[in-house]
Amino acid sequence: MSKPVIRVYKDSSDLKRMQKLTQAIWSLESNYHVGDLAWQRYRHVGLEDDWITAIWEIDNKPVAWGWIRLPGSLTFQVDPNYSELSKDIIDWFDKMTEANEQKVTVLETESHLISALEDSLWKTCEEINLC
């Protein structure tokens, strides 16, 4: 497998790349639909400075994306075939935000995302000796 490339969101062509991934992995149990992404991106025009968005690609194919809404809310999607990237997105989220409280949105059906979140939380608890 090639190394993933992280692209910073620039314009509507990147929204289409995010939608391409969303469409490719969509099921009745998915959190997002291609229309959801467009609606969410354009319903709050003028707030773009509070959004940090990146797309992870392998061989020019979108395989994951993360969308931070400042101060500390993450929405993300990862192709289950590349679930190892989930941790990379969570690490990116941690680096990009300084919020005391972080919020991440996933569905209980997205086990590959939940596992990465649990692993990251465990490490954090372990580092600060709360577990």
Give the tens place of pLDDT for each residue, 54-85: 999 999 999 999 999 999 999 999 999 999 99
Q: How is residue 72 written in tokens? A: 């500390």
Residue 56 tokens, joined = 């992870």
Selection from 68, 88, 70, 92 nearest residue 78 by Cα? 88
Contacts of 44 (CB under 8 A, 6+ apart): none
Q: What structural domains and CATH numbers belong to the chain? A: 5-127 (3.40.630.30)
Q: Which SS3 state, helix, strand or coil, does residue 110 take? A: coil
**Where is pLDDT greater, at 37 or 122?**
37
Radius of gyration of the chain (CA): 15
Residue 75: per-residue pLDDT: 92
The arrangement of strands across the sheet holding 73-78 comes to 5-8, 51-58, 61-69, 73-78, 103-105
How confident is the model over 87-93, as a mean pLDDT? 94
**First-to-final CA distance of the chain:** 35
Contact (CB, 8 A) for 37 and 18? yes
DSSP character at residue 101: S
**How does residue 27 score in pLDDT terms, banded at 50, 70 and 90?**
confident
Q: Is 77 left (phi over 0), alpha (psi -120 to 50) or beta?
A: beta
Token output for 116: 């990465």
Task: Specify the pLDDT at position 130.
Answer: 31
pLDDT number for residue 129: 32
Q: Which helix (H) or strand (E) holds 69?
A: strand 61-69
